[in-house]
Structure 1
Amino acid sequence: MEKNSKIYVAGHRGLVGSSIMRCLEGQGYSNIITRTSKELNLMRQAEVEKFFEEEKPEYVFVAAAKVGGIVANNTYPAEFLYNNLMIELNIIHNAYVHGVKKLLFLGSSCIYPKLAPQPIKEEYLFTGLLEPTNEAYAVAKIGGIEMCKFYRRQYGCDFISAMPTNLYGINDNFNLETSHVIPALVRRFHEAKLNGDAEVVIWGSGEPRREFLYVDDLADALVHLMNNYSGESHVNIGVGEDLKISELAEIVKEVVGYGGEIVKDSSKPDGTPRKLLDVSLLESTGWKHKTGLADGISKVYAWYLEQPEDKIKR
């Protein structure tokens, strides 16, 4: 990409999309176009066709998606499948029709089989059954990967896909009913500190292992791949190392400055024992993560403290 290339970031207000915007602007890219969901409904073919015809972007980052936690995925699977497939179909097809130079589709590590060997390599896709609780979302994301692959094969499009590990960062969701583990822990330890609570309860045994990537590192990797990678295989994006949930809780506790105890509720489920991505392909392109977990959580907590209460409790 040139610094004045016309770049469209779909989903620019989300956790990932807003980070891509910060990264592009920080690196001096000056011709970035965006649309809010009110301005452009990505599920409507005619609107997307009109947008691409009028704007003619040269590069496209597809970070737009309907996302949610386990409860939402279980309750609204048809919506997760339909909405995400329509977004992908419309953007990727119109990128081909209107001659986009390069497109990067952002997937999710939930595409891999529930019981995939660890660490998870790109070639493990389609080798086993998906996790039932987010199957609809995973199927939709697999559809986007396959679209990029087959449009490359049939039409010669330079469309690539990236699969991030568990993410956290600025603009995250801190709603305790719908948030992921790091923002949930940050809020729970912070509120426990304010309330003088003697303990904070975490679900399960604390033994499951997870990998976490700071979202600004993800954005840097995506821009790097847009400029340096052109292959059919999707690319895992992660840090290549994991830790126990109990160890994660201790890090968050220290960052927040909470002085009480951590109690494990073994009656709650642990979930998948381990999920770690193999990042060999990514690192072979010359990229490696920069932000350590404690440093990243410190940045998130500092940002959290600056937010109005209605925003962090959305």
Structure 2
Amino acid sequence: MKRILIHAEMARMDLKCKECQKSIAIGTLKLRIFLGFTDLHHFGNFHLNCYDPPVKHYIPKTDLVMRLDPENTKILNEWLENWNKNFTTPATIFSKSVNSSPSKYRRSWIEIFRFLDAVEVLKIYSQVNKEFYHISWDEELWHFYCLREYSKDLINNNEKSYRSQYIILRTECCNWCHMYLGGEYFYRCPLMGKPLCENCKTLKRFELMSKGEILGEFRINANILNIKFVEGCWGRKNTYRYMVEEAVESMCKRNKDFLIKILRENTNPILIDFIEKIDINKNKISIIDINQVIDEPRKEMCTMIYEYVKYGFHKAKLLKLLKKYYN
């Protein structure tokens, strides 16, 4: 919808009306309208009664720029009301309320939402439409989320809504064992941004690893992994072991899929079979798999493929070798 900005003010000099070509007397109400850059003067001056907006639609008061005394303001408002009464007010078309009648599918949607993550329902799905917004407040759904993730003893059926209780439990219970940590013993982990109890901090998955330790154990440069680090003692940057393991597995899978896609295009079943046998969850691979490849060039290629999948090594060299091999 094209917007028209109308500048209403008192004429301070003798001007000519763009429409009737008659003089606009000093001290009388005039409208100053932007005509567009194609017009020689860009702006035009009009008598109030001479101006006929080129676009036939409702003009909101926010499109008026007024510098008028009370008497002329009243005259301008009357002119605007007379113009707008011929058109539908936008407020009658677009409802500002989030209220809506339940659709016949609401029951089905609630059952589907049970399979979703509660935080995604809060942050994402509640913004999709009015129907999903109302579902995101459904007490039955939040009661289910509370029981699914937390102990029955922590849920009070008489106080607060289940949605409020879930948010409190989410922010005050251990992220791993779901033990309640409220009060003085509350600790929020800076890496996850979530609570973590003292017992869980001693688990192997929450063991802190530096970039040097990651390189030593996994033979992978931590900079190529999408991991969050926090600065610890003596400037050492640490992260949790489980974050490293998940990032390494994700990287290996990505590298594996990338090579399989290239080799499928060139139809090489031997190398594809070799890549598919690489176990991305282990640090070793059977030497027999490499020795099964007969010729020496492909044996070298298999070694490079394995090291690329597992550690991210030799990407440029490997792609060059594959290109040479197929050309």
Measured against the shorter chain, the TM-score band is under 0.3
Structure with greater contact order relative to length (CA < 8 Å, sep ≥ 6): 1
TM-score, structure 2 as length reference: 0.23
The structure with the larger Rg is: 2
TM-score by length of 1: 0.23
